[in-house]
Structure 1
């Protein structure tokens, strides 16, 4: 069995418009037709009433012997006189008068009730023909005239069809215009329906067919844009949620990794201290020089533990968002100068030229301790591992928003495969050498986190002439 397809909204709307329009036209045409036909009938009745009244003027009694002096030359004119009891007392078209009572005839009843009456078309039983009757009541009788309902009279009484054709033409034009109007509205509704179906299915709507530029089209466009904006907002919310979830998971992973790394890093100094202490406790007869050596090793490993715990504490505070770290208006040039003064003696002991080429004030909103740790760790690494002869801190650019600096040395540099991982926690290029130097493996990680906490960025590369070049940027406000 074939399925029935429901007509589109446009077709249904157009069909209702056609039914409404043509029903109105047919009702108006029928009303106008009967109105005009009645008007022409009343006009003919008025002419016959004039004749009736002139005949009543000649005689107004029920004398069966009367004769009219003259009758107008109207083809087929029939004149009858009926008394008030309904009997025909005269008829110019009959040889013998009919016996039936005429009070029930429409024109006679109208004449008795209102003084005059007419019947548009009625078959006469006396003559066997169809007539238009008009009756007028006198004091003692009723005069009735009738004309045959011939073709010419039928044409005369018919309404003029010109207005009907005019109405049909106007309605046809209106129907054509209505088709395009309903088609336009139907397109609106169809597009909104497709949009609603997509919205119900939860589909992403980036764009739809443009709506016409009218009030309904503007409303439709607003609805689509609002839905698209809502979808985008929901998508942004989901993205932010996924990003926050990823960041939270990453923080958990990093903390777990940090815990494992700290556990690993703590084992070495603790084990070394334990060996030294056990030796001192077991061998009390050790020479003073040996006892001092073991005590010095314990002290060095305790210092390493202290530095490790301080670095872990600092990096943990930055991981937690740094809310407890205060920001103040400080001069970065002064921070760099203080750090360089602090490391001047260590640099001279290693025959390293430490050059501070930053000579102008660099106001930033930040934390002096964190900023100092940035340059301390960079200088520590350069002095401990690079084997350099010169370290230079230089101002590259400064404007109202950004400060750009470089920290460079002329040492041995780092193999290219290590560069992407230099800022990872506990990552060491030479693990044995780093531990011997007392490094915690967190220095460059602290540098990067501190720079990021200040809204800046840091990159590293090998210099063409040897050594490393760190490029730092800081946001002033």
Structure 2
């Protein structure tokens, strides 16, 4: 069975309105027609009343009625009342007649019996009736004088002149029909505007439901329904944008989780690898000592010293791993406070001769006395010491500098550099990666764990700052890092 074709929404909206308008106009036309017809008939009857009144006035003034009737006949010659019939009875005897005599005994009942259609209009002076007699319509009136001696009967055939006088002017019909046509046109245009909005909204709903492409340039009409449609369209696009944002953030989150898991696996593998080396060395020396009870003291002491070196290396590695884990997994739990960078770096410089952290390199700094940053004293101390240690181990230079070079409303900007050899440009992007070594053999010989610079970066990141590194034109590496200014919330 085929699908039934539905009527267009505009026609479903227009046809009831047009039908209602036609009914209303029909009722108005019918009422106006009846009212106008009755009014014109009354006007016509008023003229007949005037004929009767003039005849009775002539009688009261003792004017010759025959002469008066002849005057009336001449007066109405060529007018709509041409052919009017007048009969005058005196004491029930016909005395004067204009046209065919009208029977005196003709009553309402007689007229009703002999009439197919009629209209009865009551007046103060007598009766006026419109009747059809022998297929001719008549206006009929019968009036008596005050003394009851004279009776005047008047009848008017329904001629073309009479029809034109009492019929409604065709121009009236044209005006009414024109008004109806204009109203229907306005209704059609109005329903077209409303239906256009519904058609566009239907198209949008269909595309949205079926997964089709929904345009953003729907031209909804400027009305209340159009405003609602635009809000629905805006809500739909905002919802889609929100869903896209959620999907994108979800993909980013999944990617971040996967990257974090990947980094964790890499770190675990690197830690295992880094731990196996010193543990293997320690085990080898222990087996050598235990397997040779007769080993001389000098050899045993050398083996024990090497075992101690690898134990210290293993301890440093475990400490660095612990620091990295705390920075990555508990960054939001780090207690921050106001830290005076000048005092912190001054104390580090003061302790360098004792701990030999800078080796043979000279350390200098230039930081204002009132340089208050938001941070953690222990982490910042470890971060600066890590940079110094890294330069002392690998730069091959003679000087280390730490200066505050600029500031803005939120941050202090610092420069840490040395005058050493620097590194190849291909290594720059990887210096903050875990366990990355520019020279594996040299780094292991120096005792590095491969976590020094990653810890520096994680420290600054956890405190809300940034860090970058590049080779200096004059030689050596330069680290540019920022730390947030301390703001007293009280």
Are 1:344 and 1:354, in contact at CA under 8 Å, matched by a contact in 2? no
SS in 2 for 1:79: coil
2:164 is the counterpart of 1:155: yes
SS in 1 for 2:271: helix
Are 1:331 and 1:361, in contact at CA under 8 Å, matched by a contact in 2? yes
Which one of 258, 274, 286 corresponds to residue 277 of structure 1? 286
Partner of 1:69: 95
Partner of 2:201: 192
Q: Note the alpha carbon deviations across 1:444-471, whole angstroms, 9 max, x for none.
A: 1111111111122111111122211111
Residues 313-332 of structure 1 correspond to what in structure 2 (within 5 A)? Answer: 313-332=322-341
Partner of 1:29: 29
TM, length-normalised to structure 2: 0.79
Partner of 2:41: 41
Q: Distance in 1 between matches of 2:261 and 2:406?
A: 38
Partner of 1:385: 394
Q: Distance in 2 between matches of 1:430 and 1:451?
A: 25
Q: Distance in 2 between matches of 1:216 and 1:78?
A: 74
Partner of 2:132: 122
SS in 2 for 1:68: strand
Residues 56-455 of structure 1 correspond to what in structure 2 (within 5 A)? Answer: 66-71=92-97, 79-82=102-105, 103=113, 105=115, 120=130, 122-124=132-134, 129-133=136-140, 145-201=154-210, 207-209=216-218, 211=220, 213-344=222-353, 350-455=359-464
Decide whether aligned partners of structure 1 residues 119 and 266 sit closer, same or farther in structure 2, where only a CA change above 3 A counts.
Answer: farther
Cα distance, 1:136 vs. partner?
A: 7.7
Cα distance, 1:262 vs. partner?
A: 1.0
Decide whether aligned partners of structure 1 residues 5 and 198 sit closer, same or farther in structure 2, where only a CA change above 3 A counts.
Answer: same
Cα distance, 1:422 vs. partner?
A: 1.1
SS in 2 for 1:80: coil
Cα distance, 1:441 vs. partner?
A: 1.0
Structure 2 segments unaligned to the other structure (5+ residues) = 58-88
SS in 2 for 1:207: coil
Decide whether aligned partners of structure 1 residues 349 and 19 sit closer, same or farther in structure 2, where only a CA change above 3 A counts.
Answer: closer
SS in 1 for 2:437: coil
Structure 1 segments unaligned to the other structure (5+ residues) = 58-62, 89-101
Cα distance, 1:12 vs. partner?
A: 4.8
- What is the number of equivalent residue pairs in this alignment? 453
Cα distance, 1:306 vs. partner?
A: 1.4
Q: Distance in 1 between matches of 2:259 and 2:357?
A: 43
Are 1:77 and 1:147, in contact at CA under 8 Å, matched by a contact in 2? no
Worse-superposed segment, 160-169 or 292-301 = 160-169
Q: Distance in 2 between matches of 1:292 and 1:135?
A: 161
Decide whether aligned partners of structure 1 residues 277 and 31 sit closer, same or farther in structure 2, where only a CA change above 3 A counts.
Answer: same
Are 2:362 and 2:400, in contact at CA under 8 Å, matched by a contact in 1? yes
Are 2:119 and 2:129, in contact at CA under 8 Å, matched by a contact in 1? no
Are 2:434 and 2:451, in contact at CA under 8 Å, matched by a contact in 1? yes
Cα distance, 1:346 vs. partner?
A: 6.1
Are 2:117 and 2:132, in contact at CA under 8 Å, matched by a contact in 1? no
Are 1:206 and 1:228, in contact at CA under 8 Å, matched by a contact in 2? no
Cα distance, 1:233 vs. partner?
A: 2.7
SS in 2 for 1:361: coil
Q: Note the alpha carbon deviations across 1:288-317, whole angstroms, 9 max, x for none.
A: 222222222222211111111111112122
Decide whether aligned partners of structure 1 residues 179 and 437 sit closer, same or farther in structure 2, where only a CA change above 3 A counts.
Answer: same
Cα distance, 1:408 vs. partner?
A: 0.9
Cα distance, 1:14 vs. partner?
A: 4.7
Q: Distance in 1 between matches of 2:269 and 2:144?
A: 129
Q: Distance in 2 between matches of 1:229 and 1:137?
A: 91
Cα distance, 1:191 vs. partner?
A: 3.5
TM, length-normalised to structure 1: 0.80
Are 1:403 and 1:475, in contact at CA under 8 Å, matched by a contact in 2? yes
SS in 1 for 2:448: coil
Cα distance, 1:475 vs. partner?
A: 2.4
Are 2:342 and 2:368, in contact at CA under 8 Å, matched by a contact in 1? yes
Cα distance, 1:443 vs. partner?
A: 1.2
Cα RMSD of the aligned pairs, angstroms, is 3.9
Q: Note the alpha carbon deviations across 1:258-281, whole angstroms, 9 max, x for none.
A: 111111111001101111111222
